[in-house]
Amino acid sequence: MANGDIDHPIIISNNNVPGEIAALSQSLNNMAAQLNGRIKQISQQRNELEAVFGSMTDGLLAINHDQTIIRINRAAAALFQIDSTTAQGVAFAGFIRSRVLQDFLVKAIDTDDSLSKNLTLMENGHEISLYCHTHPLFDGENRRIGILVVLNDLTRINQLENIRQDFVANVSHELKTPITAIRGYVETLLDGAMENREEAIKFLEIIHRQGIRLDAIVDDLLTLAHIEDKTEKNTFELRREKICPILETAVQTCLVGATLKKIEIKMACDPEMTGTVNRPMLEQAIINLLTNAVSYSPEKSIIKVTAERRKDETGRDIIKINVQDQGPGISHEHQQRIFERFYRCDKARSREHGGTGLGLSIVKHIADNHNGKVELTSRIGQGSTFTFSLPAENVKEMEQIKSQ
């Protein structure tokens, strides 16, 4: 029992053992059973607390008075990119490199009050926004032994908030530009320009073009809303389709604009290649990519549209559709944001080409709905290649085939 072996009761097989010894053995067996039950209960409670502690998405740190780590959960360990097992018993200054956070924790240890603070840290070259909240930590006898630190990672929330603010600002600007032009020319016409027929026709043509631009922005916003709608996503029907006819239709749609600039569109695709796709949406994505390619390509250049089937890094069969142009290229600092709504590398030039700033964002969301992705490879002066990748087989479809 002293060694912890309490699962085997004491059995007395000799009938000549005195009654006192028999009673003592029975008492020891009862004590062992009670200890066993209590140990199992404590182990179960510990496992439950461990599961809750480890599963929390917020980072948790329990820090002793001597600034050493009592416990750290997986979220906090991942935040600071350390091993949670080796961190226990180590001073927090050994893995928290931020001087601001160190000072905050030292101050929290030295005070009996709860403290809160918003902090910005740099971890491995990435900026992390944290909301830190500390509480005094007490043991079972209500003696203060340190602090409990809760770390809320607000990085993603702040990024989304910045995107939202940028979107509101951009959409307001994009709508205000044509509206201002329309109002200005209408006021000019009302002030007497209607008497000059040539000027009136000129102003009305401008108003008409700005109206078309407004209509295009609204249409693209509605398309984005439709694709992003979670309830609509369930009705995003995927069917087995041949890829080549979809690409041919997209090329034919963009051929008029390409012909005006004497641009040749070359297409290479296996006629028998099939994929599980939503045909109208995939066609829309390729049209958007081709429209961009035609707009930014110089006259008498070549645009290549290719489709191939290959395996990705996980061994899964995928279809890659490439749209390659000979345009000016896109610098590296713009490539990470090029698929954001209304993001423009060169605002003046983009508006000159008449785009709404939503085309590539629509492509990205169509790729997401196909469980695929869209990528950009580009260098200044060497053109750009947009790659639309999607699984060759629909996951649900393959599961149904296997079950049959």
Which pLDDT belongs to residue 396? Answer: 47
CB contact burial 289-302 (16+ within 10 A = b; e otherwise): bbbbbbbbbeeebe
Which pLDDT belongs to residue 127? Answer: 77
CATH code of the region 56-153: 3.30.450.20
Which pLDDT belongs to residue 165? Answer: 75
CB contact burial 117-143 (16+ within 10 A = b; e otherwise): eeeebeeeeeebbbebbbeebeeeeee
Q: Nearest CA to 339 among 366, 370, 321, 312?
A: 366
CB contact burial 359-375 (16+ within 10 A = b; e otherwise): bbbbbbbbbebbebebe
Domain 236-404 of CATH type 3.30.565.10: yes
Distance of CA 117 to the CA centre of its chain: 26
Residues of the chain with CATH 1.10.287.130: 156-233
Which pLDDT belongs to residue 397? Answer: 46
Residues of the chain with CATH 3.30.565.10: 236-404
Which pLDDT belongs to residue 233? Answer: 47
Which pLDDT belongs to residue 307? Answer: 93
Which pLDDT belongs to residue 244? Answer: 93
Cβ-based neighbour number of residue 356 at 10 Å: 21
Q: Give the fold, CATH level 3, of 156-233.
A: Helix Hairpins (1.10.287)
Pairing of strands 264-268, 302-311: parallel
Residues of the chain where predicted confidence (pLDDT) is lower than 50 = 231, 233-234, 395-404
**Residue 294 contacts residue 257 (beta carbons within 8 Å):** yes
* Helix 359-369 with 279-296: angle, nearest 10 deg: 150
What distance in Å separates the CA atoms of residue 241 and residue 9, rounded to the nearest whole number?
71
Residues of the chain with CATH 3.30.450.20: 56-153
